[in-house]
């Protein structure tokens, strides 16, 4: 199966990528798309811009985020031996939300906030990305610090969750005391989108995501060993704490950078690793991880394609589409498998 699976997955990804370039709110005839891609001049000058400045960065973002969150989710599920674990389980997304909420809701009033905000271009994606990264990084820092001291992985999970709750509580408090208009801006951020990443931002986003993916790929072996349990892993000569720290760094970097630039994207991170496991019928991360990357990227591209409602001018919120269309598809894949493996 796996011999055929990888070329097939790669082909699907390529197709999905092609689709997301070819279809969008604006209808561009297919031969015009081809002409633009081959370097020709289209009938309408705006079409070339739409393709290169809007659809291409959006598609690349979808690929990176889909891959990043799937890898991150897989790592977390293995590390915590918990099928419900997702990229955000250690509170990374809550930390990022807190950072963003502080900018949108917290700094809103008062003269200093206004100058801060107008100086950086309020609600400019870079400001928000920076705030989200800082928020995610501070939660990650605390978790890492604990990871070095805590022996038990479960304790780590619980502390991560606690920090998540703490950050969410502060966000709720900020919401409670904010003007409805600002709350609306914030809630828009939580709907998630791949469209906000422009080329200048890509120069920060892509390297960070690729770095996280690189670390993830390098941690394939320790992940396999960790499946056997911490004690057994230790007896095999694995430095569990160090491995754990690197896995957390990679998973949180991937989740943090995605959240920073696209808002919290739900669903992919939990669902894709399960689909990969049930299709490949293996727990070997050497296969599982690359497969998750490819499937996650494809899934993200397709979800975004639906969210763009090709042919109509309107768009749907990305997270809504992910769950609405993703749940039936992924459930049917997982339920069809006769042998559901236990982690």
Q: Footprint of another protein on residues 30-49 (CB under 8 A)?
A: 44, 46-47, 49
Q: Is 56 in the site for another protein (CB under 8 A)?
A: no
Question: Is 284 among the residues that bind another protein (CB under 8 A)?
Answer: no
Restricted to residues 208-227, the positions that interact with another protein (CB under 8 A) are: none
Stretch that binds another protein, among 120-128, 138-146, 211-219, 232-240 (CB under 8 A): 120-128
Scored b (16 or more CB within 10 A) or e, 101-118 reads bbbbbbbbeeeeeeeebe
DSSP codes joined into one string, 142-204: HHHHHHHH---HHHHHHHHHHHHHHHHHHHHHHHHTS-HHHHHHHHHHTT--STT--HHHHHH
Pair 270, 86: CB distance under 8 Å: yes
Q: Which run of H or of E encompasses 321?
A: helix 318-336
Work out whether 232 is an interface residue with another protein (CB under 8 A).
Answer: no
CA distance 327 to 230: 33
Task: Give residue for tokens 């082909």.
Answer: 11
Give the interface segment with another protein, choosing from 139-147, 244-252, 283-291, 305-313 (CB under 8 A). Answer: 305-313
Rank residues 62 and 254 by Cβ distance to another protein and give the closer one. Answer: 62
CB of 314 to another protein, least distance (A): 6
Q: Which of residues 80-109 bind another protein (CB under 8 A)?
A: 83-84, 86, 88, 97, 108-109
Residue numbers 131-170 binding another protein by CB under 8 A: 168
Among positions 235-274, residues that touch another protein (CB under 8 A) are 263, 266-267, 270-271, 274
Tell me the closest approach of the beta carbon of residue 117 to another protein, in angstroms. Answer: 7
123: buried, middle or exposed (CB in 10 Å: 19+, 13-18, 0-12)? middle
Is position 188 an interface residue for another protein (rule: CB under 8 A)? yes
- Cα separation, 162 vs 57, whole angstroms: 36
| Residue 281 engages another protein in binding (rule: CB under 8 A) | no
How far apart are alpha carbons 46 and 55 in whole angstroms? 12
* Spatial separation of the C-alpha atoms in residues 51 and 25, rounded to whole Å: 12
Contact between 332 and another protein by CB under 8 A: the answer reads no
Give Cβ neighbours of residue 218 (< 8 Å, ≥ 6 apart). Answer: 246
Number of residues that bind another protein (CB under 8 A): 81
Tokens of 86: 């997702």
| By CB under 8 A, residue 195 contacts another protein | yes
The region of 138-146, 178-186, 224-232, 252-260 touching another protein under the rule CB under 8 A is 178-186
| Residues 307-326 contacting another protein, CB under 8 A | 308-309, 313-315, 317-319, 323
The reply on whether position 339 binds another protein by CB under 8 A is yes
Residue (56 or 211) nearer to another protein, CB: 56
Q: How far is CA 73 from CA 61, 141, 217, 255, 312, in A?
A: 18, 19, 13, 9, 33
* For another protein, the closer CB: 171 or 215: 171
Taking CB under 8 A as the criterion, the residue among 41, 155, 172, 284 binding another protein is 172
| 25 near another protein, judged by CB under 8 A | yes
If you ran DSSP here, which 8-state letter would residue 267 be given? S
């Amino acid at each position: 199966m796996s011999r055929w699976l990888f070329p097939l997955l790669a082909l699907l990804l390529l197709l999905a990528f092609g689709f997301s370039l070819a279809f969008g709110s604006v209808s561009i005839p297919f031969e015009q798309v081809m002409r633009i891609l081959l370097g020709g001049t289209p009938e309408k000058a705006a079409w070339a811009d739409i393709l290169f400045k809007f659809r291409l960065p959006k598609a690349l973002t979808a690929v990176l985020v889909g891959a990043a969150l799937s890898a991150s989710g897989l790592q977390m599920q293995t590390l915590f031996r918990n099928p419900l674990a997702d990229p955000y389980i250690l509170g990374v997304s809550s930390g990022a939300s807190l950072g963003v909420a502080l900018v949108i809701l917290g700094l809103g009033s008062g003269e200093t906030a206004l100058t801060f905000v107008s100086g950086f271009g309020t609600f400019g994606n870079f400001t928000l990305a920076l705030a989200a990264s800082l928020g995610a990084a501070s939660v990650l820092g605390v978790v890492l610090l604990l990871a070095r001291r805590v022996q038990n992985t479960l304790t780590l999970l619980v502390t991560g969750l606690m920090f998540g709750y703490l950050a969410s509580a502060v966000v709720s408090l900020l919401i409670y005391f904010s003007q409805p208009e600002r709350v609306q801006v914030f809630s828009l951020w939580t709907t998630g989108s791949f469209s906000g990443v422009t080329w200048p931002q890509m120069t920060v986003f892509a390297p960070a995501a690729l770095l996280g993916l690189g670390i993830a790929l390098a941690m394939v072996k320790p992940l396999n060993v960790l499946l056997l349990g911490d004690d057994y892993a230790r007896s095999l000569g694995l430095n569990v704490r160090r491995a754990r720290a690197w896995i957390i760094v990679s998973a949180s970097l991937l989740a943090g950078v995605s959240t920073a630039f696209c808002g919290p994207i739900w669903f992919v991170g939990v669902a894709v690793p399960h689909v990969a496991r049930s299709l490949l019928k293996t727990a070997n991360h050497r296969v599982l991880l690359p497969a998750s990357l490819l499937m996650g990227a494809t899934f993200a591209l397709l979800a975004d394609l639906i969210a763009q409602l090709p042919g109509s001018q309107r768009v749907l919120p990305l997270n809504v589409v992910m769950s609405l269309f993703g749940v039936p598809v992924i459930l049917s894949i997982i339920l069809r498998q006769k042998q559901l493996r236990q982690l």
